[in-house]
Chains A and B, each alone.
Chain A
Amino acid sequence: MQFGVFTIGDITTDPTNGTTPTEHQRIKDTVRIAQHAEQAGFEVFATGQHHNPPFVAPGNPPTLLAFLAAQTQKLILSTATTLITTMDPVRLAEDYSYLQHLADGRVDLTMGRGNTGPVYPWFGKDIRQGIPLAVENYHLLYRLWHEQNIDWQGRFRTPLQDFTLTPQPLDGVAPFVWHGSIRSAEIAEQAAYYGDGFFHNNIFWNKEHVIQMVQLYRQRYEYYGHGKAHQAYVALGGQAFMRKNSQDAVNEFRPYFDNAPVYGHGPSMEQFTRMTPLTVGSPQQVIERTLEFRDWVGDYQRQMFLIDHAGLPTDVVLEQIDIFGEEVLPVLRKEFAALKPADVPEAPTHEFLVARHERGEDPVPGGKEGSPAWQDAQERAATAEHAEQPGA
């Protein structure tokens, strides 16, 4: 099980004293938060990608992640999310491939579509084409990471003739990819098709959606023959604020909750914590809540926490990371490990991907020979052939 910190880089005024960090301060603090997460024992740090205020998450995450690669030793550097819809897949392939070399393989990505309407036209795209863009762009990105001398033609980009990516992925193995979606079945299907991971950022959503989407992904993962449903790669989001005494946590976090653009002025904190994974209370409450996620989706590989949000001062964020490291993560690791059956894979790392590649066990997009998807395709082809025969 991997635990991680993810950030959207929001610049929010601290409602308790009216101070607002500058962009420069927030960017530098993001680096401190990532370093601190590594020291506290988190395995993953992921940054969002943003193109509009009040966010200073990078427009091109490898800029931040390459810097972090130089500042950290073990931390896996990831995204939450990389906008596969509005970015050129060729640039994504190049930039993340280069980052993978600099970081010695400590890189993976989470693909997202982005839900800010104006961002699409800023990059010459149309939000109504969100799903087709995600499908076509990722398919090209996948080919760029797995093939050379590519001829390619699609709907959304100029064609490529005899294109070979440089640099090639480290050790001939592309970074692991998670596909993030909250409600779109197409994206769960996409993750399953390629044998990639599925990330449900459940932080604002009722658990029914989470369960349904992960279940769909798992069943289709098995259909495409990458493994059994319970062996598919699942990551979840979550958010928490902790103090030793839960009432202290509630009192301290309430002004932040009530005023934050993403939470405030809607349901009360009590309602919100009941409906979504947000936990405000003691470390023990956070442990219990997080273990509950396993009851919803089965054994999963990665748990990300949103910690630096709602205008919390950076010192408080670092303190929260410490509480996670000292009191929450050790217990969660032990509990999750005790519950996990032996045939459920660990979260993927570069070393795992290299070993899998050397064993010749890379997932085959759409299903390898003998998989249910492959058998269906054979049957369809046979029916089509039969139909073409004269007199049939």
Chain B
Amino acid sequence: MSLSIIESCVNCWACYDVCPSDAIYDAKPHFMIDANKCTECEGDHADPQCASICPIEGAILDAAGDAINPAGSLTGIPPELMEKAMAEIQAR
């Protein structure tokens, strides 16, 4: 059981510092999770820490390969409301 980081990662280091298992390492072209060390934070925290601080939607996947932070989850705007939100912001 391990989470993984994919290519949309922007190498911001935020996950590196908060991982309780030291499972994240600075690799090229982007940070990686050592599958042998990752515990998905079980026993340490209620939520996986890397996915709780990652600023990029879709960059961290769960063990099943699904995005833990899917599109719209970090901006707070679900895709179907995007157009409406954009119109509101542009009216400012």
A and B bound?
no
Question: Which B residues have a C-beta under 8 Å from some C-beta of A?
Answer: none
Question: Which A residues have a C-beta under 8 Å from some C-beta of B?
Answer: none
